[in-house]
């Protein structure tokens, strides 16, 4: 029972660590990893709290949600990676370029 809360706290921690890395890092691959860590944190909260009443009969609905979430995450990651590669091919760097001068007079 306390393990459920303990893992859920770890999930909240993962979400926070991922969000921090997403904001702090400029490299796009790093940001993609950060998004994935955030997602894992959410999934961990979902699954951990499903075992609050003891581990014997966990609630299957959060498990199904997590599997859906994992598949969505891999789809988003694939699209993000290919966009990153294309942007790197255009600019030579895997970071977001700053705004151009002419856009902000």
- Rounded to the nearest whole angstrom, what is the least distance from the CB of residue 104 to another protein in the complex? 8
Encoded tokens for 71: 């598949």
Give CA–CA dist 47/51, Å, rounded.
7
How many degrees, rounded to 5, is the angle at CA 60 between CA 9 and CA 67?
75
- Rounded to the nearest whole angstrom, what is the least distance from the CB of residue 80 to another protein in the complex? 6
- Rounded to the nearest whole angstrom, what is the least distance from the CB of residue 101 to another protein in the complex? 11
Integer-rounded Cα Rg, in Å, for the chain is: 18
C-beta of residue 65 within 8 angstroms of C-beta of residue 42: no
Look-up of token digits 């151009």: 100
């Amino acid at each position: 029972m306390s393990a459920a809360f303990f893992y859920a706290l770890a999930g909240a921690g993962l979400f926070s660590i991922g969000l921090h890395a997403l904001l702090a890092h400029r490299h796009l691959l790093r940001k993609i990893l950060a998004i994935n860590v955030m997602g894992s944190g959410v999934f961990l909260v979902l699954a951990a709290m499903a075992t609050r009443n003891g581990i014997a009969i966990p609630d299957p609905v959060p498990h199904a949600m997590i599997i859906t979430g994992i598949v969505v995450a891999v789809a988003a990651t694939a699209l993000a990676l290919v966009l990153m590669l294309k942007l790197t091919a255009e600019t030579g760097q895997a970071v977001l370029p700053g705004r151009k001068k002419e856009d902000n007079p």
